[in-house]
Structures are given as C-alpha cells and as structure tokens.
Amino acid sequence: MSNPSFTLSPPVTPAATPAPAAPAAVARPAGGIDLLLVVGLLAVAAAMVRAVWFTPIEAMQGAAQKIFYVHVPSAVVALYLGLPLVAIASGVYLWLKDDRLDRLAESAAEVSLVFMTAVLVTGPIWGKPIWGTWWTWDARLTLTLFLWFVVVGYLVLRGAIDDRAQRARYSAVLGLLAVLLVPFIHLSVYMFRTLHPMPVVLKPSAPSLPPEMTHTLLFAFAAFTLLFVALLRARLRYANERELVALAEEAGQ
Amino acid sequence: MTAPSVLATALLVARKDLLIEFRTRSAFLAAVVFALVAVVIFRFSSDPTAVNPLDLAPGVLWTIFVFSGILGLHRSFGVEQADRAIDALLAAPVPREAIFVGKLLANFAFVACVQLVAIPAVALFYDLPIGGGILAGIFAIAALAAVGLVAVGTLFSAMTVNTRLAELLLPMLALPFFVPVVTPAALATARLLAGRPLAEVGGMLKLLGSFDLVFLVACTLAFPYTLED
Amino acid sequence: MTAPPPALEAVALARRYGPRRAVDGVSFALAPGDCLALFGPNGAGKSTLLKMLGGLLRPTNGEARVAGRAIGGDDGAVRGAVGLISHQSQLYAALTAHENVAFAARRYGVPDPDAAALLALEQLRVAERASTPVRRLSRGLQQRVSIARAIVHAPAVLLCDEPYTGLDTVGADALTATLVALRAAGAALVLVTHQLGEGLALATQVAVLVAGRLAHHAPRAAVDDAAFADAYRALVTA
C-alpha cells in the first residue's frame, strides 16, 4: 500500500523562504544632528531679526506689518510648494505605485500643515489692528482655512487605515481630488465675498515697498523655503525609519 | 450569455440598493427625522423677534441638506461590506465604474426623497414665500446640488467604510468638499426668496453644474483605485 | 494543431503583502471536468490563492488563466466564467434568498434570471425558503443560498473555499450532487477544505499548500488515502 511518489516533506520548506531584506527603496537614515534643519532654523531666525530690528516700520500699518515677514512666506511655501508636492506625488503614485512617493506625499502634507497653521494664526493677529477684527473672510485666508481642513482630513484618513497599499491608494485619490476642489472653493469664496462687503483693506502687497522691506521679504522667502526643505527631509527620514520598523515587524510574523 | 451593459449594471445595482433601503427603511427614516428635528431646532436657536426666518432659511436648508445626505451615504457601502457582498459584485463580469454609477443613482434617489420632505418642512416652519416658481426653483437647485454631493459622498463612503472611525471620517473628509455645493446653493436660494429674477442666480447654478460635472467624472474614474487589487 | 487550453491554469502565481509572501509561485492546470482538492493549514494562503484565481486580487507575479485568457486584467468578461464560494456569504441580509441569487444571475447576464435562481435554490434544496430574507435564515441555510449564488450562472470554473462548512447532511449531499453535476457538464473545480474525506471524494488532483507554496501536487490516482492522511496530519501539527 505504500506509495513512493507521495511524500509531503521535500518541497515544504517554509523556514527556507528567505525573509526579504529591507527593500532598497527604504534607505537607512544616518543618525546625528540634522545640519540642514539647523541651518534652516538659523536662517528663519536671522530673517526674523532682520525684519524686527533692521527693517523700517511701515508708515500706514505700523509695527503690525512686520508679521508679514512670517505670514506671506509661510503661505507661499505651503500653498505653492507643499501642497502641489502632495498633489504631484499622489498622482504619480497612482501611476507608478512606488511607496516612496506615498511617503513623500505624507511628509509634504504634514509639513505643509505646519506652515498653513502659521498662516492661519498670523493672519488674524495682523487683522485685528489693521482691519479692526480678528477674522474677515478674506479670500486667501479663507481658502487656506478650507485647505487646512482638507489636509487635516487627509492625515486623519491615513491614520485610520492599517494596510499600507490601501492607505497609499486612498490618500492619493484624496490628494488628487483636493486639487480639483481648489478652484471651486476659490470661486465659492469669491461669490460669498461679493455679497458681503469687506472692510477697507490696505493692500498688503503694494508694489511700492521700500527696497529694505523687499529685501527682507525676499530673505524671509529664502529662509522659509530652506526650513520647509529641511523639515520635509527630516519628516521623510522619519517616514522611512517607521517603514523599516513596520517591515521588520511584518517579516517577523 | 452576455454580460449586461454598463448602464444595465448600474440600474441593477441601484435597484438592488433601493430595494434594500425599502425593506429596512432604517436610513431613510433616520435621515428624514433628523432633517425635521434639525429644521425645528435651528428655528428655536435664534431670537424670533430679531432674526427674520427668511434670512435663516437658506443656511438651514443647505446645512441640513448636507448632513442628512451624509447620514444616508455611510450606509451605501456598509451593506456591501457586511458579508463581503462587494466581492461577489466585483467578481462579476461588470466594469467597476458601473457599480459606482449604480451606487450613485441609488444615493441620489435617497437624497432626493429626503429633500422632498425637508424642503417643504423648511418652507412650512420658516413661512417661506413659495409662489411664483420659487419652490420649483429651490427644488431645481437641490437637484443640481445633490449630484455633486452624491458623487463625492459615494466615493468617500467607499473609502471610509472599512477604516476605523468610519462614521466620523466620512463627514470630516466630505464636508470641505461640500463648500462649493452649499455656498452657491444657499446664495441662490436667498436670492430666489428675496424675489430676485432667476437670471440673477445663473452664475451660482453654473458653479453648481460645473462642480457636478467635474466630480462626477473624477469620482467615477477614481473609484476603481479604492478597491483592493 | 494546438490542444485546447486548460479550463483553469495558474502560472507561477504569487502575491506579496509587504514583505510577507502569502502565495509564492503556485502553478497547476485543470482540464474541463477536473477537480483539484487543495488542502493546507490555516494561513497557508489558500484564500489568497482563490481570490487571485477569481480575479478579485491582482497577483504580484504570475497569471491565472481561464480557458487560456488571463483573469484579473482589463478583460472583465473572463470573470463571467468563474464562480466563487467564499468564507463570507456575500449575500445581502435584507433581501430574500431568491432576490440575492436572481441579482447574481442578472449580473452575469443569465437569460431568465428568476427561473435560473429558483433552479439553483432547488439544487441546494432551499427553494422552499426562497422568499425568506437571508437575515432570518440559519447559518447553514445561508451557506446553501450562498452556494446557489455562486453557481447560478453555470460557471466553467468554480472556486470553493471550505464550502461544506456549516452544512448539514442534506446540504452537504446537495452540494456534492451539485459539484458532480457541474463537473459532468465540463466545469473545472478547485475545492479548498480541511476535511480530507470530502476533498478526496471528488478530486482528480490533490495538492497541499504550505506557506504559499504547493508542497505536494499529484493526480488523485497516485494518492493513497491512509498514507496521505497520516502525512498531512503530521504536517499540520508540525
């Protein structure tokens, strides 16, 4: 009754299945001090010092105008650098399905959120002395507020999904839909504003800024961009590190 | 034996969803009762001698519109998820987009039925002038607004249904997307109620219409990406 | 001059979840009328394999082919030839047994869906409960309805994930009769189960899946039941 052709053991080598090494896509980050981040922080500090002590006070708005050296660069960095990065990384992810793009999108979203929060906090601080009220439904500030909601939702969604591929796909879809949403929110805000008379607004970006102010603003732009890049890099490192830990845990199961 | 067309599949899915809703009636009743209670509470949250109900009505109408819509949307993919019926749907030789369109049609019917109760309720409790085509105008705006609401909401329902915090996540993700629905709808309603001619709300209707178009297409194309593959 | 393609063919099918290899290079071919009995311990990757065969899950590597055409690709029509009995009932609790099965039939474009649904329910001997909402049926009856749902379009390939679970004698006999009839009509079956007896009864091929790989794969005729049972028990408890 013995059947020589039948043995279960030979091909069964579960232990021999090689535990895959960490994918090359996940580079192990180096330890130590993040020099770029230090430089970025110093640059922003220098820009602030220059703005407060070495730039003339604006004649009409007084000292309150100084907040623009934080507000405007933060807004530009978040809205024109960070969020487009999220959108592009999301779109390309759906195409290439490369995990690195997902981590880039996540990191860019989180760093952008920091700068957007700075915009939303500094806006009303400036608005109170100038407009006489903390919050007006200024078009750009309102748009920033709604995008802030979208980005928070994006990050909460990521936190609520365990499966890596699913999380990446869902957040990429949300990232792309958010791009389509921006012009519509813009139009809605504009439509809303036309029905609600605004307080007389001093044009903050009047073309005739004295050269010292222009230089300080440009310096601040550069410093905030540098800080953004440094934070993004640090956040990406963290994402990579976390990925390594997760992969190690899954492989150990 | 040929597989049904995209439209036939969509209608099949929509019919099935509405049949389930008709059998259980749970979400519909909940949404209608929610809408009615909210209409009343909004009225009782303002000083009747200081606030003109006509000023309050558009905001109330569209806030309730959005929230009662979300109540129904969550259930849309919940019924598929319960015993993984969605797997049987996806295994069938039908395009994924057709399934989405079917869900969308059912959700549109759901939202429309809730509005058929909610809008007259607002008109009644807020003593709205409904003559001269104003009520018809509001229903037309509601129909336009519902398309965009349902397109975005159906997709987000698919995305949030198998996450933790699904019930909280859906409104959190969807509400910012409804800003371009609520704003023009409320502004247009306010103008209609103020007796302004229909031509004056053209821009708002255009905004609603283009939102519908863009997000109908975008969400239908995005749906396959929300499925396991 | 070429032989007709196999009814169902797996070519080096593999699926990874992150670093974990759920299915790792599985190949086999079934001719019409063949039945592959697939055994394996929990977590061996059986359900993942069936999902890939049914076009529900995209393989990381390899391909599943039904009658020579790749499944899971853009060609959705191939999926129409496959039926899948899963762990979950895949039914709508609020709808009746007949509505559930008829809905499935319509999805597959079956000519007379209502009659086909009733026929499938009769085959599984639940026709008398056809108009009962699934929610009110017992677990075993739900399983019968679920099987009726999977076979209502007379699939050329039927994938069964532990289909006997929860069935009483009547249900199990009805299922066996259904599977035999499908085979006679030229369908290829994949039968995943833990019960060696019920798997071996119908099989023309026997395979054991362990850690995502086919640890053993042989024609039924080459398998000695008692020796297989001993070896399998030793493997699972190892």
Tell me the per-residue pLDDT of C111-169, one tens digit each, with 9 for 90 and over: 999 999 999 999 999 999 999 999 999 999 999 999 999 999 999 999 999 999 889 99
Alpha carbons B119 and B125: distance in angstroms, whole number: 10
The partner residues of C157 in beta bridges, in order of sequence, read C82, C188
* Cα C196 off chain centre by: 16
pLDDT in tens, C26-76: 999 999 999 999 998 888 899 999 999 988 888 989 999 998 888 866 567
Chain B residues bordering chain A (beta-carbon distance below 8 Å): 152, 155, 159-160, 163-165, 169, 172-173, 175-177, 179-180, 183-184, 187, 203-204, 207, 210-211, 214-215, 218-219, 222, 225-226, 228
What residues of chain B lie within 8 A of the CB of C80, using their CB?
Answer: 1, 3, 92-93
Q: Which of B187, B211, B228 sits opposite A166 (nearest CB)?
A: B228
Any C CB within 8 A of A253 CB: yes
pLDDT tens digits, B6-34 = 899 999 999 999 999 999 887 888 889 99
- A9 CA: distance to closest CA in chain C (Å): 7
What is the spatial distance between Cα A75 and Cα B156, in angstroms, rounded to a whole number? Answer: 28
In a mutational test of the B interface, the residue from A90, A145, A171, A184 whose CB has the highest number of chain B CBs within 10 Å is A184
Instruction: List % helix, strand, coil for chain A (3-state, nearest 5).
Output: 75, 0, 25
Half-sphere exposure of B39 (CA within 13 A, CB side): 25
What's the length of chain C? Answer: 238
Smallest Cα–Cα separation from A159: which of A113, A111, A116, A106?
A: A106
Banded model confidence at residue A4, pLDDT cuts 50, 70, 90 = very low
> Are the beta carbons of A78 and A40 closer than 8 angstroms?
no
> ipTM, 2 decimals?
0.90
DSSP letter for each residue of B23-82: HH-HHHHHHHHHHHHHHHHHHHTS-TTTS-HHHHHHHHHHHHHHHHHHHHHHHHHHHHHH
- Asked if C109 has any chain B CB less than 8 Å from its own CB, the reply is yes
CB contact under 8 A, B226 and A169: yes
Q: Do B204 and B138 meet the contact criterion of CB atoms below 8 Å apart?
A: no
Residue C87 has pLDDT above 70, yes or no: yes
Measure in Å the smallest separation between the Cα of A43 and chain B Cα atoms: 35
The CA radius of gyration of chain B, in Å to the nearest whole number, is 18
Reference C59, options C16, C6, C18; nearest CA is C16
Distance CA B54, CA A62 (A): 43
Average pLDDT over chain B reads: 90
Distance between CA atoms of residues A129 and A133, nearest Å:
7
Q: What DSSP designation does A54 have? A: S
Give B173's contacts in chain A (Cβ within 8 Å): 153, 157, 174
Minimum Cα–Cα distance from A173: chain B residue: B222
Measured distance CA(A170)–CA(A166) in Å, rounded: 6
Residues A176-193: what's their mean pLDDT?
88
What residues of A are in contact with residue C24 (Cβ under 8 Å)? 17
Is the CB of B187 less than 8 angstroms away from the CB of A173? no
| Cβ C198 vs Cβ C10: under 8 Å | no
Q: What is the mean pLDDT of residues A136-149?
A: 87
Helical pair B134-160 and B202-222, crossing angle rounded to 10 deg = 20
Contact A200, B200 (CB under 8 A): no
